[in-house]
Amino acid sequence: MDITSPTAAQPPPGATAPAPQAKAAARAGDRIFLGLSRGSGLLLLVIMAAIAVFLTVRAASALSHDHGNFFTTFEWNANATPPVFGIAVLAFGTVVSSLIAMLIAVPVAVGVALFLSHYAPRRLAAPLSYVIDLLAAVPSIVYGLWGALFLVPHLGGLYSWLDDYFGWTGVLAYHGGAARSLFTIGILLAIMILPIVTSVSREVFRQAPKMHEEAALALGATRWEVIRMSVLPFGRSGVISASMLGLGRALGETMAVATVLSPSFVIGKSLLDPGGGTFAQNIASSFKESGDIGKDALIASGLVLFVLTLLVNGAARLIIARRKEYSE
């Protein structure tokens, strides 16, 4: 349908034809309105570009002062003279905690999504979906507070137990103390990204064609077999993109990590022992003690985070877009 030239639309017979000046006013109004709305769209693009440009400029100035290697230095002394800082520890902590979060959250989220789309009693499915969406509405600082004051004290026992049986791996060794470690962060992030992964997956599972489910049923499949034959293959790409969206959130989460993690600039062998750091956490935690070069250094690390989340989210969106083309 073409509605781009409304002024050309003929008034119905009998209606008073618009006077010439009214027509002109209409045209001017249209032009202004189109200009405003297109301008808003352009403004969004400008903001995105500006984010990239400003962060890059600041980051470049920071890097020119860096006496370490920005990518491999295990240190963050941006305010010292000479300034020495590198993102190795932050990159490690960000990626590892996010991966732990994915490992925990994605299977659970797929389970919850299946529960809501195929298992929950029909009458309960809608309110229960709402409960899961509520998880997404809780501010991250509250998760942080809960994580630091409730979750951390309760995880010590679990970690000692893991240490007893798997401590020999090194990765799961635990030497006591508050459980303010990357693994705890992973658990907390998993809880936080669960709603987004769940709700996207749930929608995909709901769209699985009824006729394929019936085909499986008519062959004498149990409910699980129906899901395995017709729902999961249909939803696979949707779950992947949902997970990527969740990963994007986990990578950039700031306050929950800043409150729970006990940061240190080493890459520890154990995931359960306190220490480590993430991009976002480091920015929030060290910002107030930073001088000019320190701030630029933090902005440089923020740029890396920005690019990382951009890649992950872009990939997720591309998968979703490809899927849409297929299903239409």
Beta strand spans in the chain (E): 76-77, 84-85
Would you say 224 or 269 has its CB closer to other proteins?
224
Structural tokens at position 292: 């000019």
CA dihedral (197, 202, 203, 209) in degrees, to 10, reads 140
Q: Which of 99, 145, 178, 267 binds other proteins (CB under 8 A)?
A: 145
Within 69-209, where are the H helices? 88-114, 122-137, 140-146, 152-166, 182-207
Q: CA–CA separation, 207 vs 209, rounded Å?
A: 6
The answer to whether residue 216 forms part of the interface with other proteins (CB under 8 A) is yes
**Choices 103-111, 169-177, 199-207, 266-274; region in contact with other proteins by CB under 8 A:** 103-111
Residues in 152-171 at the binding interface with other proteins, rule: CB under 8 A? 154-158, 161
State how far the Cα of 115 lies from the Cα of 227, in Å rounded to an integer: 11
Residues 39-98 that bind other proteins (CB under 8 A): 39-45, 47-48, 50-51, 54-55, 57-58
Q: By CB under 8 A, which span of 28-36, 65-73, 85-93, 261-269 interacts with other proteins? A: 28-36
Q: Which of 37, 168, 177, 266 binds other proteins (CB under 8 A)?
A: 37
The phi, psi pair for 154, rounded to 5°, reads -85, -10
Q: How many residues bind other proteins (CB under 8 A)?
A: 126
Is 19 a residue that touches other proteins (CB under 8 A)? no
Least distance from other proteins to the Cβ atom of residue 49, Å? 9
Burial group, residue 28, by CB count within 10 angstroms (0-12, 13-18, 19+): exposed
Nearer to other proteins, 266 or 311 (CB): 311
Q: Binding string to other proteins for residues 190 to 209, with x set by CB under 8 A, is what?
A: -x--x---x----------x
Q: In the numeric block, which tokens belong to residue 65?
A: 């002062």
Q: Which is nearer to other proteins, 214 or 269 (CB)?
A: 214
Contacting range for other proteins; rule: CB under 8 A; set: 70-78, 150-158, 199-207, 263-271? 150-158
CA 111 to chain centroid, in Å, comes to 19
CB of 86 to other proteins, least distance (A): 18
Q: Given candidates 221, 237, 264, 323, which one binds other proteins under the rule CB under 8 A?
A: 221
> How many residues are listed for the chain in this entry?
328
CB of 157 vs other proteins, minimal distance in Å? 3
Applying CB under 8 A, the span of 8-16, 70-78, 80-88, 262-270 interacting with other proteins comes to 8-16
Least separation, in Å, of the C-beta of 163 and other proteins? Answer: 13
Q: Which two tokens stand for residue 274?
A: 């306190």
Distance CA 177, CA 173 (A): 12
Is position 317 an interface residue for other proteins (rule: CB under 8 A)? Answer: yes
The percent helix, strand, coil of the chain (3-state, each to 5) is 75, 0, 25
The DSSP 8-state label assigned to residue 10 in this structure reads P
Which residue number, 175 or 269, has a Cβ lying nearer to other proteins?
A: 175
Asked whether position 234 contacts other proteins by CB under 8 A, the answer is: yes
Q: By rule CB under 8 A, what string of x and - marks binding of each residue 125-144 to other proteins? A: ---x-xxx-xx-xxxxxxxx
Nearer to other proteins by C-beta: 222 or 269? 222
Beta-carbon contacts of residue 167 (< 8 Å; ≥ 6 apart): 173, 174
Does the protein bind other proteins through residue 241 (CB under 8 A)? no
Peptide bond into 121 cis (omega under 30): no
